[in-house]
Chains A and B, each alone.
Chain A
Amino acid sequence: MLEIKNLHVKLEEEDKAILKGVNLTVEAGKVHAIMGPNGSGKSTLSYVMSGRDGYEVTDGTAALGGEDILDMDPEERAAAGLFLAFQYPVEIPGVGNMTFLRTALNAQRKARGEDEMSAADFLKLVRAKAKDLKIDADMLKRPVNVGFSGGEKKRNEILQMAMLEPKMCILDETDSGLDVDAMKLVSDGVNALRDEGRSFLVITHYQRLLDHIKPDVVHIMADGRIVKSGGPDLALEVENNGYADILAEVA
Chain B
Amino acid sequence: MGALKQVSQAKTNATEERLARLTLPQGAGWATEAREGALARLRAMGLPGRRDEYWRYTRPDTLVQPSAPEAALFHNDEGPLFDTIDRVKLVFVDGVFDPDLSDDPALGGVEIERLSDASQADIHWSKDLYGVLETDGQSHVDRPFAAMNTAFAGDGIVIRATGKAEKPVNLVYLHKSVSSDAILHHVVRVESGAELTMLETGPAAARFNKCMEVDVAAGGTFHHIRAQGRDHERRAVTHIFARLAEKSVFKSFTMTANGVLTRNEAVIDITGDDAVAHIAGAALGDGDFLHDDTVFITHDAVGCESRQVFKKVLRNGAVGVFQGKILVKQGAQKTDGYQISQSLLLDDDSQFLAKPELEIYADDVACSHGSTSGAIDEEGLFYLRSRGIPEGPATDLMVLAFLAEAIEEIDDQEIAADITDRLESWLARRRG
Listed in ascending order, the chain A residues whose CB lies under 8 Å from chain B are 50-53, 73-75, 77-79, 83-84, 86, 89-95, 99-100, 103-105, 107-108, 111, 143-144, 160, 164
Q: How far is the CA of A51 from the CA of B382 in the complex (A)?
A: 9
Near A by CB (< 8 A), chain B positions 389-426 give: 389-391, 393-394, 397-398, 400-405
Q: How far is the CA of A154 from the CA of B97 in the complex (A)?
A: 59
B386:A78 contact, CB within 8 angstroms: yes
A73:B386 contact, CB within 8 angstroms: no
Residues of A within 8 Å of B397, CB to CB, are 95, 99-100, 103
Closest partner residue, chain A, to B385 (CB atom): A74
Q: How far is the CA of A89 from the CA of B80 in the complex (A)?
A: 41
Residues of B within 8 Å of A53, CB to CB, are 378, 382
Residues of A within 8 Å of B401, CB to CB, are 92-95, 143
13 new A-B contacts at CB < 8 Å, known A92-B401, A107-B389: A51-B385, A77-B386, A78-B386, A90-B380, A90-B382, A92-B398, A94-B400, A94-B401, A94-B404, A95-B400, A105-B388, A108-B388, A164-B388
A51:B386 contact, CB within 8 angstroms: yes
A100:B380 contact, CB within 8 angstroms: no
Q: How far is the CA of A50 from the CA of B379 in the complex (A)?
A: 13
Shortest CB-to-CB span from B385 to chain A, Å, is 4
Listed in ascending order, the chain B residues whose CB lies under 8 Å from chain A are 377-380, 382-391, 393-394, 397-398, 400-405
Residues of A within 8 Å of B391, CB to CB, are 73, 75
Residues of A within 8 Å of B379, CB to CB, are 90
Residues of B within 8 Å of A93, CB to CB, are 401
A74:B380 contact, CB within 8 angstroms: no
Q: How far is the CA of A150 from the CA of B127 in the complex (A)?
A: 62
Q: How far is the CA of A41 from the CA of B124 in the complex (A)?
A: 78
Q: How far is the CA of A109 from the CA of B305 in the complex (A)?
A: 47
Residues of B within 8 Å of A104, CB to CB, are 384, 387-389
30 contacts between A and B (CB under 8 A): A53-B378, A75-B389, A78-B385, A78-B386, A78-B388, A79-B388, A84-B386, A86-B383, A90-B380, A90-B382, A92-B377, A92-B380, A93-B401, A94-B400, A94-B401, A94-B402, A94-B403, A94-B405, A95-B384, A95-B397, A95-B401, A104-B388, A104-B389, A107-B387, A107-B388, A107-B389, A107-B393, A108-B387, A111-B388, A164-B387
Residues of A within 8 Å of B400, CB to CB, are 94-95
- Residue from the list B388, B403, B405 in contact with A75, Cβ < 8 A: B388
